[in-house]
Chain A
Amino acid sequence: MRISGARAIVEALRREKVEVIFGIPGGATIPFYDALLDSDIRHILARHEQCAAHMADGYARVKGAPGVCSATSGPGATNLVTGLATAYMDSSPVIAITGQVPRNMVGKDAFQEADIVGIVTPITKYAFQIESASQIPDAIRLAFMIASTNRKGPVLIDIPKDVQLEDVDFDYSERIKLKGYIIRTGDPHPYSIKRAIGLIMSSERPIIIAGGGVIASNASEELIKFAELIMAPIVTTLMGKGAVPEDHPLYLGMIGMHGRIESNKAIEEADLIIAIGTRFGDRTTGKLDEFGKNAKIIHIDIDPAEIGKNVKVDIPIVADAKKALSTLYSKLLEFGFSKKDSEWISRINYLKESYALNYEEKGEGLKPSKILKILRNILPRNAIITTGVGQNQMWTAIHFKIFEPRTFITSGGLGAMGFGLPAAIGAKVAAPDRPVYNIDGDGSFLMTEQDLATAVSEKIPIVSIILKNRALGMVRQWQCLFCNKRYAYTDLGNIPDFVKLAEAYGAEGIRIESYEEFEVVVRRSLSTEMPLVIEVPISPDEKVLPMVPPGKSLKEVIWYG
Chain B
Amino acid sequence: MVRSDYLSWGRVLRPRQTVTRPAFMGDVAAILRGSRTSVLPFGMGRSYGDSCLNADAALIDVRALNRLIAFDRETGVLEVEAGVTLAEILQYLTAVSEPERSWFPAVSPGTKFVTVGGAIANDVHGKNHHSAGCFGNHVLSLRLLRSDGTTHLCSPSQETALFAATIGGLGLTGVILSAVLQMKSVPSLWLEVEDIRFEDLAAFDRLNAESADWEYTVAWTDCLARGPQLGRGIFTRARHAGRLGPPPPAMLRFRRSMPIDLPGFALNAASVTAFNALYWRRAPVTPTRRVSSYEPVFYPLDAIGQWNRIYGARGFHQYQCVVPTVTAPEAIPALLNAIAAARQGSFLAVLKTLGSRPSPGMLSFPMAGTTLALDFPNRGAATYDLLNRLDAITAAAGGRIYPAKDGRVSAGDFQRGFQNWRDFARHVDPHFSSSFWRRVTAPFESSSNS
Q: Do A and B bind each other?
A: no
